[in-house]
């Protein structure tokens, strides 16, 4: 019996995509169950044909039929990839995606930013998913190219947040600006005091990141109304950091995809 034949009889699967500055993450859901997920690099200019081949390969690998998709929901912070992805989805799945932030997609979350349109789509999706899972208030920390904190107020609004350079970005910038420093990758170092230049850079970058994030969590929880707010961690770098961050209450690696699935169910059920 094929995967498509064993699908939930009540409906077809949803395809969601989180298009970030470093990676594109795709998820295939049946109801709230994540059936399959894939990652592609977003650090290049894909054509619709190239992305169509990638999508075709994903569905072939998973065993699910691309044409069985009930709807496609996308959160993107890389505008130049939006139209190539939409074209690829049309070619492979027979439909164009809905984009978070467009007029047609209603998130159901009030945004207290001075200009709500400035908030990245992925940040709204993270806040929405965290509120759905844990209620309000809640704090989301997403560690990727940038590290973001997104705060949901006691009233359930998107209250705002913080944005800082991700540790890999900061480390790469240091290597570029200092001629004699080698290129090194972010890594957990057991010893705080490095014995050579590379280990000194790695220890400094890692533990500075840990202490900065731990300190920001403490500061956020000191804000009125947030003393007992749970902290949810997500993003590609969290698995490296989470063991040294006791202030994190929940590690939810697929939080953004889960939020996109929630929006997809709401959006396409109205059509």
Contacts of residue 143, defined as CB under 8 A and 6 or more positions apart, other chains included, come to 166, 167, 213, 233, 234, 235, 236, 237, 238, 241
Runs of H (alpha helix) within 109-179 = 121-134, 167-177
Helices 255-269 + 121-134 axis angle, to 10: 90
Alpha-carbon torsion angle 214, 217, 218, 223, nearest 10: 170
Catalytic residue at 122? Answer: yes
**Which one, of 207, 267, 257, 266, lies nearest residue 34 by Cα?**
257
Task: Mention every residue, 6+ apart, whose C-beta is less than 8 A from residue 146.
Answer: 21, 163, 164, 165, 166, 169
Selected catalytic residue, list 18, 30, 122, 142: 122
Q: b/e for 126-158, b at 16 or more Cβ within 10 A?
A: bbbbbbebbebbbbbbbbbbbbbbbbbbeebbb
* Number of separate helices (H) and strands (E) present in the chain: 7, 10
Which positions are catalytic? 122
């Amino acid at each position: 019996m094929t995967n498509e034949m064993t699908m939930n009889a009540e409906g077809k699967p949803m395809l969601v995509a989180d298009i970030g500055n470093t990676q594109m993450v795709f998820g295939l859901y049946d109801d709230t169950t994540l059936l399959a997920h894939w990652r592609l690099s977003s650090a290049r200019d894909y054509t619709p044909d190239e992305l169509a081949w990638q999508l075709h390969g994903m569905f072939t690998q998973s065993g699910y039929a691309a044409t069985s998709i009930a709807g496609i929901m996308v959160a993107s912070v890389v505008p130049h990839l939006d139209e190539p992805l939409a074209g690829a989805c049309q070619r492979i799945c027979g439909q164009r995606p809905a984009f978070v932030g467009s007029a047609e997609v209603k998130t159901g979350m009030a945004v207290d930013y001075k200009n709500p349109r400035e908030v990245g789509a992925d940040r709204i999706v993270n806040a929405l998913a965290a509120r759905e899972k844990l209620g309000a208030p809640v704090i989301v920390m997403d560690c990727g190219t940038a590290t973001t904190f997104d705060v949901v107020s006691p009233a359930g609004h998107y209250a705002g947040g913080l944005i800082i350079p991700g540790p890999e970005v900061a480390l790469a910038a240091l290597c570029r600006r200092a001629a004699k420093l080698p290129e090194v990758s972010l890594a957990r170092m057991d010893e705080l005091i490095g014995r050579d230049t590379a280990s000194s850079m790695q220890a400094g970058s890692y533990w500075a990141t840990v202490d900065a994030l731990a300190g920001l969590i403490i500061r956020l929880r000191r804000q009125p109304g947030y003393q007992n707010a749970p902290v949810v961690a997500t993003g590609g770098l969290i698995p490296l950091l989470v063991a040294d961050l006791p202030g994190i209450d929940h590690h939810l690696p697929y939080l953004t995809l889960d939020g996109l699935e929630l929006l997809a169910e709401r959006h396409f059920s109205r059509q």
